């Protein structure tokens, strides 16, 4: 591999860090401070001159101290960079998503009244051209928000680069480098750096290193998993995921498929070493955190139902190794006729694969359909 080529591959991992509005705000603030300091200096010179002329002993008043910018930690910057705190419907028609320039990574896509809007990490909103995207299931955002799959077109939102890709439902590797597309004629694996697609086996997920995860011998609570090189099928590594000892009687990692067998519910890899297996059959939101080295179940990740048997949390996507949840606050979600009680907004939250308390990152208008990062299904 040549050095220039290798550097270009590494550079593909860069995100859009440039925020013109933030730069302008700071530049304006510094300019105001300089102008104020200049005015103060001029005033002090005038006062000194007056004092010297009249020999009057008075003091020049001191300027108030300028506010100092407050530094934030990288983590705070990262979460602020990814999501605007509050998303609200624009008052007028939103600007169509431009095709001749980048808009930066997207935080999410949402739709109220069949008007899909892409929300950039800067908070800017752009109208998407197809009105029924949420019905088709063919639109997907990458886990880093950089790539937008819209039917057969994969768009880099940080530039105007597009690739033609096979049309189908898509899953991403956690680092967004690989896109696994299920088409009517089989699975294709797309490299987002080159745009090249290759046919692969019937896979459940794709990992950061381009290896695919294939399931076989699927039962309700267990499955055999083989991780293998995508194109060649080489370097197979097989293990069993067995949840029978940790799942309740009604719970399972797989459900009946049309052919009478079982198929896995969604599998969410979060690194090359681990994946979350969705569990159905519980009132709570349950996932199994599974080691992709040997199939061991590392955690049973649970988000309890707030008002059993009603669950207001739902899995929305995967953002850079963290699971994204949508929360529909309980109560007053449907206003009674004749009342003006405001409907609370929905929330997006992130949670570590091993569990913990969901951290709310963003609110979105109530009754929205939302498509989060790393997902192709709108909630």
Partner 1 sequence: MGRYEGFPEFVLARGPALCRTAYLLCGDHATAEDLVQSALVRTAERWPSVVAGGNPEGYVRRATINEHISRWRRFGRRERLVAELPDRPMASDDTADRLHLLTAIRNLAPRQRAVVVLRSYEDLSETETAAILGCSVGTVKRQTHDALARLRQLVPVAVDDASEVVR
Interface residues with partner 1 (CB under 8 A) are: 1-4, 6-24, 26-27, 30-31, 74, 77-78, 81, 101-104, 158-159, 175, 177, 208-210, 229
Q: Show Cβ contacts of residue 80 under 8 Å, excluding neighbours closer than 6 positions.
A: 72
Least distance CB 272 / partner 1 (angstroms):
8
**HSE (side-chain half, CA atoms, 13 Å) at 337:** 0
Integer Cα distance of 68 and 163 in angstroms = 45
Which of 208, 196, 128, 136 lies closest to 170, judged by CA?
A: 136
Integer Cα distance of 357 and 153 in angstroms = 36
What backbone phi and psi angles, to 5 degrees, belong to 229? -60, 135
- Output 220 or 322, the one with its CB closest to partner 1: 322
- Output 21 or 41, the one with its CB closest to partner 1: 21
- Output 231 or 304, the one with its CB closest to partner 1: 231
Q: Please, what is the end-to-end C-alpha distance for the chain in angstroms?
A: 43
- Output 22 or 86, the one with its CB closest to partner 1: 22
Residue 289's DSSP bridge partners are 276, 299
Least distance CB 191 / partner 1 (angstroms):
8
Residue 188's DSSP bridge partners are 181, 199
Q: Could you identify the residue written with the tokens 């969410």?
A: 268
- Output 15 or 306, the one with its CB closest to partner 1: 15
Integer Cα distance of 206 and 192 in angstroms = 13
DSSP category for residue 334:
S
- Output 81 or 222, the one with its CB closest to partner 1: 81
Least distance CB 166 / partner 1 (angstroms):
21
- Output 111 or 211, the one with its CB closest to partner 1: 211
Q: Show Cβ contacts of residue 374 under 8 Å, excluding neighbours closer than 6 positions.
A: 141, 142, 143, 172, 174, 268, 317, 318, 319, 324
Least distance CB 271 / partner 1 (angstroms):
11
């Amino acid at each position: 591999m040549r050095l220039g080529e290798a550097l270009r591959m590494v550079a593909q991992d860069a995100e859009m860090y440039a925020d013109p509005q933030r730069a302008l705000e700071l530049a304006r603030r510094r300019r105001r401070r300089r102008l104020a300091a200049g005015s103060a200096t001029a005033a002090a010179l005038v006062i000194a001159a007056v004092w010297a002329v009249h020999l009057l002993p008075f003091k020049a008043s001191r300027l108030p101290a300028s506010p100092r910018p407050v530094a934030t930690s990288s983590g705070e910057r990262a979460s602020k960079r990814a999501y605007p705190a509050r998303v609200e419907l624009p008052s007028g028609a939103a600007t169509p998503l431009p095709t001749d320039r980048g808009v930066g990574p997207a935080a999410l896509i949402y739709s109220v009244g069949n008007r899909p809007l892409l929300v950039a990490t800067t908070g800017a909103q752009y109208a998407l051209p197809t009105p029924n995207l949420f019905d088709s299931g063919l639109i997907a955002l990458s886990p880093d928000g950089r790539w937008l799959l819209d039917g057969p077109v994969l768009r880099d939102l940080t530039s105007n680069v597009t690739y033609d890709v096979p049309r189908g439902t898509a899953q991403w590797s956690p680092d967004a480098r690989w896109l696994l597309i299920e088409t009517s004629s089989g699975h294709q694996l797309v490299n987002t750096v080159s745009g090249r697609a290759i046919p692969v086996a019937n896979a459940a997920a794709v990992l950061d290193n381009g290896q695919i995860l294939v399931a076989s011998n699927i039962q309700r609570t267990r499955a055999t998993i083989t991780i293998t090189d995508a194109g060649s099928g080489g370097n197979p590594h097989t293990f069993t995921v067995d949840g029978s000892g940790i799942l309740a009687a009604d719970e399972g990692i797989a459900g009946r498929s049309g052919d009478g067998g079982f198929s896995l519910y969604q599998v969410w890899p979060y690194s090359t070493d681990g994946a979350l297996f969705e569990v159905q059959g519980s009132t709570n939101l349950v996932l199994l955190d599974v080691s992709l080295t040997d199939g061991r179940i590392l955690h049973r990740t649970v988000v309890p139902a707030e008002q059993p048997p009603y669950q207001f949390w739902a899995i929305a996507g995967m953002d850079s190794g963290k699971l994204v949840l949508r929360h529909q606050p309980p109560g007053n979600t449907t206003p009674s006729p004749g009342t003006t009680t405001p409907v609370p907004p929905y929330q997006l939250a992130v949670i570590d694969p091993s569990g913990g308390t969901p951290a709310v990152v963003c609110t979105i208008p109530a009754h929205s359909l939302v498509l989060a990062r790393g997902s192709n299904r709108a909630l």
